Amino acid sequence: MPIDLLVVRARGLWEDLARVPVSFAPPGGVNVVVSPKSGLCPPGWVGVVAMGGSAVATAPSDGAAGVVRDVLGKLPLQALRDGARDSTLIREAFAVSRMLGPATLSYASPAGFRPAGADAPAVEQLPAAHPDMRSLEQAAGQEDAGEAALDEITSPAFVVRAQGRVVSAAGYHMWPRRTAHISVLTAPEARGRGLARVTASAAVSHALAAGLLPQWRARPAASRRVAAALGFEELGFQLSFEIATSGAGALDGARHLLL
């Protein structure tokens, strides 16, 4: 699938997740809409998704949407991404109380996918709710397990064992627009051996065979490297944040930072 078709398909997903009518802006721009039930962010937050050089954003209220339009109208998308990485620019410009991201959004096509080699460790298939999956999550710790969200997968789990224990697992959660959102988790003592690529490769192969669009959302550099090794293309990023809710003054303060 050519990269431009990947962008079109991925944009369609995020337009649907906005849960109000919206389309991506012309190159370099951002379209902002009010959507209290947006799937781009937690409830009450602002969500921004940039894809293919333009963006959509959702806000929980008219007041918040006005602030977002003001700020993003003066910031190139790359500045938004870079500012989110060091957080200072975004936190000051929007009077942010909490923020998630930016997370890179990557997608794989059948033509671009690079599966793990034939010499990779054997992969076993388990039901998503298998007790061995919960044991892996406990071994990985709450933070890493929460980031991977293996408890949300709707596909089978694809696992590698060491001495009888599951030490790496992957699967996917079915999202709208026939999108397979990939989840991967490896036990701390088994990292650095390429097992994430092996299990993820099995999950991606399963998704592509079903005609789905594999999606990889990552913040850590190590996760992005695994996606790149499998042939995923980085097409954009997702960012969400909560504007301080201490009344209209907080929104006015954010506007003043632009002057």
DSSP calls for 130-174: -HHHHHHHHHH-HHHHHHHTGGG--SPEEEEEETTEEEEEEEEEE
Residues 242 and 220 in one domain: no
Residues 139 and 193 in one domain: yes
pLDDT in tens, the chain (259 residues): 556 889 999 999 999 999 999 999 998 889 999 999 999 999 999 999 999 989 999 999 999 999 899 888 877 777 777 756 656 667 777 778 888 888 999 999 999 999 998 888 999 999 999 999 999 999 999 999 999 999 999 999 999 999 999 999 999 999 999 999 999 999 999 999 999 999 999 999 999 999 999 999 998 889 999 999 999 999 999 999 998 764 444 444 333 333 2
CATH number at residue 169: 3.40.630.30
Task: List the one residue out of 226, 2, 208, 202 whose CA is nearest residue 115.
Answer: 202
Question: What total number of domains does the chain contain?
Answer: 2
State pTM to two decimals: 0.88
Residues 137 and 204 in one domain: yes
With respect to residue 181, please indicate whether it lies within any of the assigned structural domains.
yes
